[in-house]
Structure 1
Amino acid sequence: MTQPMNQKPEKDEAFLQDCLYFTTNRLSRAITRMADEAFATTGLAPAYGYLIRLVIGSPGITQKELSEKLSITPSTLTRFVDKLETKHLVERKVHGKTVMVYPTEKGIELGPTLRQASKRLKQNYEEILGKELSDQLTEYLTSSSKQLEK
Structure 2
Amino acid sequence: MTCEAYISPNVEWSLEPSTWFGQTLLTGTVLFILTQMVSKSIAWTVTIWLYNIITFVFFHAILGDPFNPEYSGLTFWEQLMIQLKGSSGMSFFTLFPVVLFLCGARFAKFSNFLFIVNFISLVLVVAPKMLVYMVYYRKTKNEKKKRENVHKRKKSKSEKK
Q: Same fold (TM over 0.5)?
A: no
- With the length of structure 2 as denominator, give the TM-score of the two structures: 0.29
Query: More helix per residue: 1 or 2?
Result: 2
Query: More strand per residue: 1 or 2?
Result: 1
- With the length of structure 1 as denominator, give the TM-score of the two structures: 0.31
